[in-house]
Amino acid sequence: QVQLVESGGGLVQAGGSLRLSCAASGLTFSRYAMSWFRQAPGKQREFVASMTWTGGSTYYADSVEGRFTISRDNAKNTAYLQMNNPEPADTAVYYCAAGRLAYASTRSSDYTYWGQGTQVTVSS
């Protein structure tokens, strides 16, 4: 059974930093592209960042480019999202997702497995 478990969410002040983790089990993690999406109250889920299974290519939403960094540790079956200088507009539930893809898609429909989400709240 495939499981993705996010952790690291919480309350952070604007301008601070936070690191989200996504621990994967039940799949060959090193063969999966990983991504982060988020959903704010009353809004649709949106793409945040993605990374190929090798880690060689990354993609970011314009709104987080230069502030967030996606990474992975294939030895630990874990993906990360480092959030630097967060803003109140980044407040959302953050989800990690895994897909057996040759590229780091930005489309949620391309990802097969999803975590349960972790709440991030950025205070001003």
Q: Please compute the mean of the pLDDT values over residues 13-33 and round it to a whole number.
A: 97
Give the confidence band of 55 by pLDDT, cuts at 50, 70, 90. Answer: confident
Looking at residue 120, its pLDDT comes to 98
| More confident call, 44 vs 102 | 44
Looking at residue 56, its pLDDT comes to 87
pLDDT reading at 92 higher than 90: yes
Contacts 24+ apart (CB under 8 A), 24-32: 24/77, 24/78, 24/79, 24/98, 24/113, 25/77, 26/1, 26/2, 27/2, 27/98, 27/113, 29/74, 29/77, 29/98, 30/74, 31/100, 32/98, 32/99, 32/100, 32/101, 32/113
